[in-house]
Amino acid sequence: MGVILAIIVVAWVVYMIIKRYYPQAVLLTAGCVLLLYVFFMMHTPILEAKESSGSNFLDVFQTIKSLLATRVAGLGLMIMSIAGFAKYMDYLGASRSLFAVVAAPLRLIKSPYLLLVLGFYVSQFLVLFIPSHAGLGLLLMVTMYPILIRAGVSKLSALGVIGCAQYMDVGPGSGNAILAANVAKLSPAVYFVHYQLPIFVTTTLILGVVHFFAQRWWDKREGFTGYDNSADLAKENEERPPLIFAILPIIPMMLILGFSPIFHSKVNMDVVTAMFLSTFISMAFQFCRIRDFKATMLSLKHLYEGMGTSFATVISLIVAGEVFAAGLLKIGAVDAMISAVQRTGLGIHFLIILICLVICGCAFLMGSGNAAFFSFAALTPKIAASLNIDVLTLLVPMQIMTSFGRVVSPITAAIVAIAGVAEVSPFQVVKRTALPMAAAALINIAFIFFH
């Protein structure tokens, strides 16, 4: 009965999220329903004795409190500090300065499709410092998109590349990557350099070539002959701060990697410390620019506004996903799923691929890599232990594959946003991202077998 209830609840969760219900409420409600079943029907402890309130019924809600307290104090603070710093960078306009620096070589290239490939590589460099799919996509629509259009790239080809701007959540600034590192009990810097970077670099180099041929094929198929681009170029000269501000988004990455075990540093700098130190350095730059001490002090509110927004959107989603995961674990659904998968007789590699495809499909249906990965990440240690594999063997391809499903979903926020700016259908955009993401999925599968 527990497994049947779990199947019904999971189906309800997927249906409600597809219907665009608030995912935090859906996951939290589903988790509580499963835990209440454990209380009423299974009569097994929900929490360990040291965490229990003394009442098995109250422990259903004590679970929420326990997870929230743990996450806000640790992982949550990291993610909120990153979101706050990103918000402050957006306020300063430093991201536009960074793009102005890296985009200079793009203007010298005359071949539209070669320019498209180089633009894709530039976007992958920027994603290390601008860890928001929608934020980076909209920035590229204001900055790189007009350059591509002026060079003769079709509107949909440009959108295909920009839609893939964060095709993989990488770097110490990514919420998914930080959660994966936390689950694996690694520092974000070590997880990024040793586990993400080899896959990211290899896949990115190959995808540039895939974009060249895929977008050209679509242009020929759809008969692209050019169009009036004057309206698209109107934003190209948007005001930006001095070019020296381009260094500001890079400072956290330099600090996190520089003061980490990777470079055998005796000083260890965590993500939160790096973000606040980088913020105060950025405030000093801003004061030198505007010469207004009061306005510079007031600008810090953008950091806290970004942190608050992150709590309401990301941290709440992580906790809701973990409550849901706790319900699935306690009701025995995960054990039943693992046993069923093991009975299929497939090898470990094929089991990992199957799990990755499931989470990729969830990201596609939800239009969110965070919602899918946050919902399943807490289950990976249990699944990995049951399959007798290291948690990273399962966690890394899962975390990477999640992003692919998001990039080909027409309800993803970034896809909807850039399609709205260009005045095209999101379905036209994901048609241009589908082939590159299929190639990325194949590369990820190859890494599962051979890396």
Residue 399: what pLDDT? 87
Pick the more confident residue, 434 or 137.
434
Average pLDDT, the chain: 81
Please state, in angstroms and as integers, the Cα–Cα distance from residue 320 to each residue in 23, 169, 281, 300, 406, following that order. Answer: 8, 21, 35, 29, 20
Pick the more confident residue, 443 or 13.
443
Cα–Cα distance, 135 to 137 (Å, whole number): 5
- Residue 233, pLDDT > 50, answer no
**Helix 112-126 to helix 133-142 angle, to the nearest 10 degrees?**
140
Please state, in angstroms and as integers, the Cα–Cα distance from residue 331 to each residue in 25, 35, 387, following that order. Answer: 20, 7, 20
3-state helix, strand, coil in the chain (%, to 5): 75, 0, 25
Neighbours of 216 (CB within 10 A): 16
Minimum mean pLDDT range among 30-44, 45-59, 195-209: 45-59
| Banded pLDDT at 157 (limits 50, 70, 90) | very high
Please state, in angstroms and as integers, the Cα–Cα distance from residue 177 to each residue in 75, 81, 131, 180, 395, following that order. Answer: 11, 15, 10, 5, 10
Block residue for tokens 């590369």: 443
Question: What confidence tens digit (pLDDT) does each residue in 330-377 have?
Answer: 887 766 766 666 666 667 778 788 888 888 887 786 667 776 787 677
Please give the backbone phi and psi of residue 315, each rounded to the nearest 5 degrees, phi first.
-65, -40
Question: What one-character-per-residue DSSP string does 203-223 give?
Answer: HHHHHHHHHHHHHHHHHHHHT
Block residue for tokens 């430093």: 94
Q: Where are the domains of the chain?
A: 2-450
Question: What confidence tens digit (pLDDT) does each residue in 138-152 have?
Answer: 767 766 787 787 778
